[in-house]
Amino acid sequence: MYLLYLDGSGSVQNPTEKHFVLAGICVFERQIYHLITETDKFVSSLNLGGVHDVELHGSVIANGKRSPWKGMGRKERLKVIDLGLGLLRDAHWGVRAFAVAVDKHAKPLSDPVEYAFEEICNRFNHFLSRLWRNGEGQHRGLIVMDNSHYEQALQRLARRFREDGTRWGALANLAEVPLFVDSTASRLIQISDLLAWAVWRRYEHSDTRYFDKIVGRFDKEGGVMHGLVHRKPSTEECHCPACLTRSAIKDSK
Ligand SMILES: [Zn+2]
């Protein structure tokens, strides 16, 4: 079984923010323990107190307003995020990243969270289908989400996921409705949060420092990047890896 740990970055309500990002890391069941252990070791090396009391949360570390990040210099805090993303970059080759970056001005777009959720579920499902097609086994997928962000919207979607057979019927490889967990208790949700933050910085602030570190992790096959989606207004030109992949596919048709 493959688990996709999802978390979001950016505010849907805040009109001063242009983007919402939903991102996740996809981990095979036997690799979970290793990645959690590596993350715990990293957190322990920071010497910020009890290892299980310290949560890696991109925006909280970046703004430094809360303990244990309060009092730590900005450069040092950003280094923590950078090293945290290094855990994903250096993880087992089978660990893959998925992300959907939504420009809230894209039309037609009724709900950025809904769009991102549906798109990332489809990408995960296609990844599992591809493994089967390529003779790498028939694996089921399970989505695990942080319950503290966008909780209401995502729980509503999770319910629809269960009830609306037509819409979600195509997601044949998913074993269950998404499960909600507390991010403080899940290191892999925390890594997904850092990933979402890095993608959000890339699109919201054109800050590619963190994104570049993990861009090689997005699910891809034969040079086509399936794991990253950028939904933008159709009139805007964009040269991000997701848009370049889309235009390369269009040109080849
Ligand atoms: Zn783009």
Distance of CA 128 from the midpoint of ligand 1 (Å):
25
Give the DSSP H or E segment for 102: strand 96-103
pLDDT at 182: 82
Distance of CA 241 from the midpoint of ligand 1 (Å):
7
Distance of CA 152 from the midpoint of ligand 1 (Å):
28
Tokens representing residue 200 in the block: 């959000």
| Residue type present at position 120 | I
pLDDT at 177: 73
pLDDT above 90 (res 173): no
Distance of CA 25 from the midpoint of ligand 1 (Å):
20
Let me know: does 50 contact 145? Beta carbons within 8 Å: no
Distance of CA 242 from the midpoint of ligand 1 (Å):
6
Distance of CA 116 from the midpoint of ligand 1 (Å):
15
How does 42-79 read in b/e, with b if 16+ C-beta sit within 10 Å? bbeebeeeeeeebbbbbbbbbeeeeeebeebeeeebee
Condensed to tens digits (0 to 9), the pLDDT of residues 2-39 reads: 999 999 999 888 889 999 999 999 999 999 999 999 99
Distance of CA 4 from the midpoint of ligand 1 (Å):
23
Condensed to tens digits (0 to 9), the pLDDT of residues 89-145 reads: 999 999 999 999 999 999 877 788 888 988 898 899 889 999 999 999 889 899 898
Distance of CA 207 from the midpoint of ligand 1 (Å):
14
pLDDT at 166: 39
Alpha-carbon distance of 166 to 220, in angstroms, equals 28
| 3-state secondary structure at position 239 | coil
pLDDT above 70 (res 164): no
Tokens representing residue 106 in the block: 């894209």
pLDDT above 60 (res 49): yes
Distance of CA 14 from the midpoint of ligand 1 (Å):
21
- Segment 231-248 shows an average pLDDT of 89
Condensed to tens digits (0 to 9), the pLDDT of residues 57-83 reads: 999 999 999 999 998 999 999 999 999
What residues contact residue 203 under an 8 Å CB cut-off, 6+ apart? 18, 19, 21, 101, 103, 230, 240
What angle is formed at CA 100 by the lines to CA 94 and CA 106, rounded to 5 degrees? 165
Task: Write down all domains in the chain, each with its CATH number in brackets.
Answer: 2-252 (3.30.420)
pLDDT above 60 (res 165): no
pLDDT above 60 (res 202): yes
- Tokens 């095979």 sit on residue: 28
pLDDT at 82: 97
Tell me the whole-structure pTM to 2 decimals. 0.93
Average pLDDT taken over every residue of the chain: 89
Distance of CA 204 from the midpoint of ligand 1 (Å):
12
Choose among 157, 171, 203, 222: nearest CA to 23. 203
Distance of CA 219 from the midpoint of ligand 1 (Å):
16
pLDDT above 70 (res 167): no
Distance of CA 103 from the midpoint of ligand 1 (Å):
10
pLDDT above 90 (res 45): yes
Condensed to tens digits (0 to 9), the pLDDT of residues 31-41 reads: 999 999 999 99
